[in-house]
Structure 1
Amino acid sequence: MAITPHLSPKPRVLVVGGGYGGYHVAKRLQKKIRDRGGIVTVVDPNSYLTYQPFLPEVVGGSIEARHALVDLRSHLRHSEVIQGKVVEIKHAGKTATIEGPEGMTFDLPYQDVVVTAGADSRVFPIEGLGEAGIGLKRIEEAVSLRNQILERIESAALMTDADERRRAMTFVVVGGGFAGAELIGEIEDLVRTAISKNPRLAQSDARVVLIEAMGRIMPEVTEEQAEAVVEEFRARGIEVLLNTSLSSAVDNHLKLVNMSDQSDAGSFYADTLVWTAGVAANKLAKSTDFPVEERGRIEVTPTLQVSDGQGGVAEGAWAAGDVAAVPDLTGDGPGGFCVPNAQHAGRQAARLAENLMAVRFGEGAVEEYYHKSLGTVAGMGVGKGVGNPLGIELSGVAAWLGHRFYHNYAMPSLERSSRVLGGWINEIIFGKDTTQVKELETPHNAFREAAGLERLPNRMDVKKEASDA
């Protein structure tokens, strides 16, 4: 249904995506554009930014879910915020088609467009994966995963069937990059703590597995550091399966393949399967009239202007972050492009905002984006971590503290970073919170029962019915 909503008629800088890059672009531009008679409009399906580096800690319970979010309306007060999805960009006519929450669509004119739509999970065509797995790109996934883990532990404590209990207590992460390594560490911490509080369970009841198709994990750190992390994981009881790939997940029966010779690498059942095996550019990139490279990212120049495909730039079009193929002028990036992470997205946003003001209003000079990585740090449970900030190799508590310091600093807004810090302090004082919030998928069931109606099945009920069948 086409509508014409009441929106500002002022010349518009349209920011597509309210994630880390889009938020920082809007934050830097909103007052400057307003003072020159225009308006910054941010369009995102959510009314908040998700700080994705904190998602593993949301799963682990170190951070309250809401504190990993930044409300766009509260922190972009001088911008126009639209909760909706950009489904098409026609830059030739400088309009974007927006789909609202209830399916209504409308065309939004703009003067300049900034595409910072981020990335989606890169999912391979593995049979059963879509039904059995869950990703870790959204806050809803992190909250659901946390509660599923705790629910499976509580249910397993009352199971008498050994196979059913083993399946419930098996937790698997596919993908050994930073996200997967951080997540598996947080899951092991959470599982171990929850079991310690339940006398009907033993630590040996749990099976925590990390599956990685390559011969090593965490390509962002040195090989020696990656090997040390694997040794530490195994010392914590985490199974690390290298050179191993998932070939099927039908009915949560995970079948594995040895990547060296494509031989059978065994199989087992697991109720909890998390997919963190990489990211892919947002599909929106292919719904524009901008040139897109082979990995589905919008082609941009080092000044973060969208390429016109003929050696020039598309006037009034910009892109940054995971959705853009940004040249890495340091020469360090794989394939010659910047890696998709928050460190680059935030810095690209700052350079893009300055360049847009230079091109549109002649203020300042247009400069190329150049940033040599400061290194990386990862937290893998309380007091555990690895990293190489500024070329200094860290591990254990030092890396864990470095991870928390950097990401708390990078978290947008003092208000949000203060809430996160408060949660960390509470965890140190009072210990890990293992409270489970039940029935998130079916919150109406209690009322339905009171009204004499049947309960609605949740995700685990559906899985159990499929398994029994």
Structure 2
Amino acid sequence: MTEPARILVVGGGYVGMYTALRLQRQLRAELRAGSAEIVVVTPEPYMTYQPFLPEAAAGSISPRHVVVPLRRILDRCRIVIGEVLSVDHAKRTATLSTLATAEEGTGPVALAYDELVIAPGSVSRTLPVPGLAEHGIGFKTVEEAIGLRNHVIEQMDIASSTRDPAIRDAALTFVFVGGGYAGVEALAELEDMARYTARYHHNVRPEDLRWVLVEASDRILPEVGEAMGTYAIRELRGRNIDVRLETRLETCEDRIAVLSDGTRLPTRTVVWTAGVKPAPVLAATDLPLNERGRLRCTATLAVEGVEHAWAAGDAAAVPDVTAKAPGGECAPNAQHAVRQAKVLAENITASLRGQPLKEYAHAYVGSVASLGLHKGVAHVYGRKLKGYPAWFMHRAYHLSRVPTFNRKARVLAEWTLSGLFKREIVSLGSLEHPRAEFELAAAPPPDHGDKPSS
């Protein structure tokens, strides 16, 4: 019996999920006949729609509606919850660890494949800043977003109950490093949420909270253009948010953020959103990488110089055939990733069927960014929008892009309800340590020594 052609998809993010989704539709006959198999290896059983993380952190969207369950949407694929550790493409073999191998203690296993799709996404790009590893908070996963929300509300509770002015000031100072989408949108949404929450604390006023945005370059939100970036700075500063341009975080040891301009900020919150880098697994392959650690690809999304290997999204350096200047590459963002996944699936199908491949070509249409409730900036098709119209466009665009009708309906319903009722201001910090109370109850009683005799 002939073995089915196995397509291995590494990663369940934008590219991984959308590519597998389109492949299972286009290869329906082959999958039914058993001549093809799609295997998706991903660390989590869901895809996170990252543009909604700021709203999830602010409580506008439930965390479970920011993620899409892969087993439901990829019902004709084999989902393996695990991590690809290395790839030997010359032997068409990937080495991976799974939840089962961890339990069995058998070590990594080898998985053979015929076609390889590398789409592991990216990880936070950190710098050797003293204290960052100990005190920094990321903002790339739904767990980090909800953890940050709980943390901010907890700091307000600390400030409300302490009598120590130093502890209070540190608790109410929030430092965000990085002026891209993640940093600006997270800060803006959380500042909105915290300002609303302050009305329920008898001794914490909105003006007591100090929000600081630290950006190393001379502008924020470069994707929306210089004019809209300048407007965003003006909007944030109008809300008493301290925007520091051409400034770097030097250290955050001992819960004191020291900036390159000499400012010292006692703080219990340092959020790091200063860029991303390719996933480490790329360096553990025998595939060609560029100077930034991304896979060298052709315009057909095939890995350059090798056969049966494909890539897109954050992991791939894809030539931008629509660029006026030669040598340009597609930006590693969601707008390109979703569209690349469509072409990638079509080209893999064409390759299996011996048909010609097509090049990926998409002119960048612009960007939208939220600056909190009813506020935003946009630069789309050459038109510049700000305020409520930009915020509405931001929501409409991402609602159209979030996968499945189920998620669209749930997100729209939550937005509608949040407009009719008050914000949720509950912190569920105990979710981060769900067994803490039971462990305390199950612990043996403290030994107080021998009781005195009566």
Per the TM superposition, whether the score is higher than 0.5 is yes
From 78, 85, 88, the equivalent of 1:87 is 85
Amino acid at match of 1:186: E
User: What runs of 5+ residues in structure 2 fail to find an aligned partner?
Assistant: 447-454
Q: Which residue of structure 2 aligns with residue 385 of structure 1?
A: 376
Residue 5 of structure 1 corresponds to none
Amino acid at match of 2:309: A
Match of 2:331 in 1: 339
CA drift at 1:204: 2.0
CA distance 1:97–1:452, shift in 2 (3 Å):
closer
1:351 pairs, out of 340, 343, 347, with: 343
Q: Relative to 1, partners in 2 of residues 1:121 and 1:202: Cα closer, same or farther, differing over 3 Å?
A: same
**C-alpha contact (below 8 Å) 2:130/2:253 kept by paired residues:** yes
Amino acid at match of 1:53: P
Render the CA deviation track for 1:370-423: whole Å, top value 9, x for unaligned: 101111111121101001122211111101110000101100111111111111
- Specify the code of the residue in structure 1 equivalent to 2:19: V
Question: Is the Cα–Cα contact under 8 Å of residues 147 and 429 in structure 2 kept in the other structure?
Answer: no
TM-score by length of 2: 0.93
- Contact residue 33 and residue 40 of structure 1 kept, 8 A: no
RMSD between aligned residues: 1.7
What is the rounded CA distance, in whole Å, between the counterparts of 1:277 and 1:28 in structure 2?
A: 33
Equivalent residue letter for 2:16: G
1:21 aligns with one of 15, 24, 27: 15
**Post-superposition offset of 1:146:** 0.6
**How many angstroms apart in 2 are the aligned matches of 1:334 and 1:56?**
36
Does the Cα contact within 8 Å between 2:278 and 2:293 map onto a contact in 1? yes
Aligned mate of 2:53, from 42, 48, 55: 55
2:46 and 2:282 map into 1 onto residues whose CA distance is: 21
Q: How does 1:242-281 map to 2 (within 5 A)?
A: 242-258=245-261, 265-281=262-278
Pick which of 345-354 and 25-34 moved more.
Answer: 25-34
Match of 2:187? 184
Task: Say whether the 8 Å CA contact 1:33–1:39 is kept in structure 2.
Answer: no
Check conservation: 1:52, 1:137, Cα contact below 8 A: yes
Deviations 1:419-448 (A, max 9, x none): 111111111111321111032232222122
Paired-residue identity, %: 42
How far off is 1:454 after superposition? 9.2
SS at match of 2:426: coil
1:197-276 equivalence runs, <5 A: 197-258=200-261, 265-276=262-273
**Are the aligned partners of 1:298 and 1:325 in contact in 2 as well (CA < 8 Å)?**
yes
1:297 to 274, 279, 294: 294
Tell me, yes or no, if structure 1 residue 325 matches structure 2 residue 317: yes
Contact kept in structure 1, 2:178 and 2:213, CA below 8 Å: yes
- For residue 124 of structure 1, the aligned residue among 107, 124, 127 is 127
Aligned residue type for 1:227:
T
State the SS of the aligned residue for 1:98: strand
Out of 406, 421, 434, the position equivalent to 1:443 is: 434
After the TM superposition, which residues 418-433 of structure 1 pair with which residues of structure 2 at under 5 Å, given as runs?
A: 418-433=409-424
State the 1:453 CA deviation: 5.4
Q: Quote how far apart the aligned CAs of 1:29 are.
A: 0.4
1:345 positional shift: 0.3
Q: What is the CA–CA distance in structure 2 between the aligned matches of 1:339 and 1:453, rounded to whole Å?
A: 57
Q: CA deviation at 1:178?
A: 1.5
Q: Where in structure 1 are there 5+ consecutive unaligned residues?
A: 1-7, 259-264, 309-313, 456-469
Of residues 301, 316, 319 in structure 1, which corresponds to 2:308?
316
